[in-house]
Structure 1
Amino acid sequence: MTAPQRRRQSRPVVLLRPVPGRSVVHELWAGTKLLVVAVIGVLLTLYPGWAPIALVAAFVLATAWIARIPRGVLPSIPRFLWVLLFLGALTASFAGGTPHITVASVEFGLGGLLKFLQITVLSIVLLGLGGLISWTTNVAEIAPAVAKIGRPLRLLRLPVDDWAVALSLALRAFPMLIDEFRVLFAARKLRPRETADSGRERRQRMSAEIVDLLAAAVTVALRRADEMGDAITARGGAGQISALPSRPRLADAVAGAIVIALCALAVYVELFTPLTTS
C-alpha cells in the first residue's frame, strides 16, 4: 500500500442507546436490571476481592454474549488514558507491601501495584455492568421502573414520580446534548484561524473560543429543553412518563435468583476459600 498510512478512526462512547436486536436480556424488566446493578455494587463494595471481581466479570461477559453485544460498541481508549494508567501503576508500586520479589538481589514489594490493578479492574467491571444496562434497556422504560421500585417511599410522602420523571428526562437529553456538542466542536474546527504572533495572543484567543463554545452550548441546551417541554405537553404532561405499565415477569425472577446465587458464591469464595484467606 503506497498511500500514507491512514489514521484509525476512533470509536466514540455509545451510551443510553440500546443495541438493535432482541434477546433474553433485552426483554428483562428495567427495574430488575437496576436492582442487579445495585446488588452487585453493594457486593463489590463490601467484598472487593479478586474472587468477587472475577465472578462478576464472568457474569458481565456471559450476559454480553447472551445479549449479542457487538465489540463495536466499545469505545476507543485514548492514548493519554494509557499514560495515566502507567503513571498511576508506577506511583502505586512505590508503596511496596507483600508479596515481594527479588531481582538481582534487590527486593521489590508488589502490594501497592496489585492494589492499583485491583481497583482498575473493579472500575472496568462496574463500567461494563453499567454499559450492559445502557445497551439493552430503552430509556423510556427507566422512569416507570424507578417509580415502581420507589413505591414504598410514597408512604413517607417523597416525590418518587417526580424523581423518576427527572431521571428519565436527563437520560433522554444526555445523548442529544452530546450530539449537539460534537456538532459545535466540528464547526469550531472548520472556522478559519488567524496566526497568533505571541503566546499571550494565543491564550486570549483560546479563552475567547471557550467562552463562545460555552455560550453556544447553553443556547443549544435551552433550545432542546424548550422543544422537549413542548413535546411532553403535547403528549399529556410529565406524569405520563412514569405512568406507563411496568412490572416484572418470570424471567426477572430467574435472573434475580442467578444474581443472588452469584453473590452467595462470591461471598463464600472470598471468606472461606483458603486461597483468599491465606
Structure 2
Amino acid sequence: MTAPSRNQQRRPVVLLRPVPGRTVIHDLWAGTKLVVVAAIGVFLTFYPGWVPIGAVAVLVFITARSAHIPRGVLPSIPRWLWFLLILGGVTAALAGGSPVIELFGVDLGLGGLLKFLRITALSIVLLALGGMVSWTTNVAEIAPAVAKLGRPLRFFRIPVDDWAVTLALALRAFPMLVDEFRILYAARSLRPRPVLTTRRARRRRWAFEVVDLIAAAVIVALRRADEMGDAITARGGAGQISAAPSGPKLRDWVALSIVFAICGAALALELTVLGTS
C-alpha cells in the first residue's frame, strides 16, 4: 500500500504557537492585538452587516499576508463539518423571507439562507482574527499585556496580576496538554482490542476505556502542573510572569488608528450608502 499523499493527510489545529518570523505584525505589542480583537468583536456584535464583515475579512487577509502566515497553519476541514454546513443552509433556506426570487414559477425566499451565510461568515472572520493573534504573539507576552491593560481596575482592588498569571499559565498549559492527550489516544489505539460478542459487553468495555482515559488525563495534567510549578519557583515565582516591562509604541498607535479607521468607514457605508442590514 502506498502512503497517503501530503494533500490527503489531515492538518491539525495549530494554536497558541507563533509562526516563526520577524514582521511588523509580530513586533506589535500583545495588548494592541487584544484591544483590536475586543474592539472588532464588539463592533461586529452590534453591526453584523455584510460591509463590516467584509472589511474585517480584508483586514485579516492583509494582516496574514504581512505576517507571512503560511497555509499550512490552517487545519483540514472534516467532511462532517461540510455536511453540517450544507444541512444548516438547507434548513435556513426553508424559513424563507425577503428577498424573494422567482424560479420556474415558484417564489423562493432567500432571507433565511442569507442570514445563515452571514452568521457563518461572521464566525469564520472571528475565528481567523483569533488565529492571527495566536500565530503572531508569544504566549509569554500575554500576561504583562493583560496586567498593563487592567491597571485601572486595581483602583477597585481587583487582582489583575493574579488574573494575568492565571491566563498565562492556562495558555502555556493548553498546547502541552493537547500533545499529551494525542499521545494517550495514540497509545490507546495501539492496544489490542478483545473480541466481544454481546452488545452489553461492548458498552461496558467502552465505559471502562473512557474512565481509563479520564484518569490518565488527570494524572498527566497533575504531573505537568507540578513540573510547571517547579519551573516557576526556580525563576522567581509567579509574580515575574506579569512583571515583564511591556507597553505600546508608535507602531501600535498607528495600527490602532488604521483598524479604527477601517471599522469607522465600514460602519459609515453600512449605515448610509448601503443602508442597515
Instruction: State how 1:1-278 maps to structure 2 within 5 Å.
Output: 6=4, 8-273=8-273, 275-277=274-276
| Separation in structure 2 between the aligned mates of residue 105 and residue 260 of structure 1, nearest angstrom | 47
Number of equivalent positions: 275
| Separation in structure 1 between the aligned mates of residue 76 and residue 109 of structure 2, nearest angstrom | 33
CA deviation profile, 1:54-102 (whole Å, cap 9, x unmatched): 0000000000000000000000001111111111111111110011122
CA deviation profile, 1:74-132 (whole Å, cap 9, x unmatched): 00001111111111111111110011122221111110011000000000000000000
CA deviation profile, 1:152-189 (whole Å, cap 9, x unmatched): 00000000000000000000000000000000000000
Give percent identity, aligned residues only: 69
Shift, 1:204, TM fit:
1.1
**Scaled by the length of structure 1, what TM-score is found?**
0.97
Q: What is the one-letter code of the residue matched to 2:185?
A: F
- After superposition, the CA RMSD in angstroms is 1.2
**SS of residue paired to 1:265:** helix
| Separation in structure 1 between the aligned mates of residue 16 and residue 55 of structure 2, nearest angstrom | 26
**More deviation, 133-142/77-86:** 77-86
| Separation in structure 2 between the aligned mates of residue 263 and residue 103 of structure 1, nearest angstrom | 37
Q: What is the one-letter code of the residue matched to 2:182?
A: R
In the superposition, relative to structure 1, how do residues 5 and 223 fare at CA in structure 2: closer, same or farther (>3 Å)? closer
| Separation in structure 1 between the aligned mates of residue 239 and residue 2 of structure 2, nearest angstrom | 57
**SS of residue paired to 2:275:** helix
| Separation in structure 2 between the aligned mates of residue 269 and residue 118 of structure 1, nearest angstrom | 17
CA contact (8 A) 2:49 2:276 kept: no
**SS of residue paired to 2:108:** strand
| Separation in structure 1 between the aligned mates of residue 211 and residue 40 of structure 2, nearest angstrom | 42
| Separation in structure 2 between the aligned mates of residue 260 and residue 58 of structure 1, nearest angstrom | 14
CA contact (8 A) 2:14 2:73 kept: yes
**More deviation, 145-154/104-113:** 104-113
Q: What is the one-letter code of the residue matched to 1:276?
A: G
Shift, 1:276, TM fit:
3.4
Listed as ranges, the gaps of 5+ residues in structure 1 are none
**SS of residue paired to 2:229:** helix
Q: What is the one-letter code of the residue matched to 1:51?
A: V
Shift, 1:4, TM fit:
5.5
Shift, 1:150, TM fit:
0.3
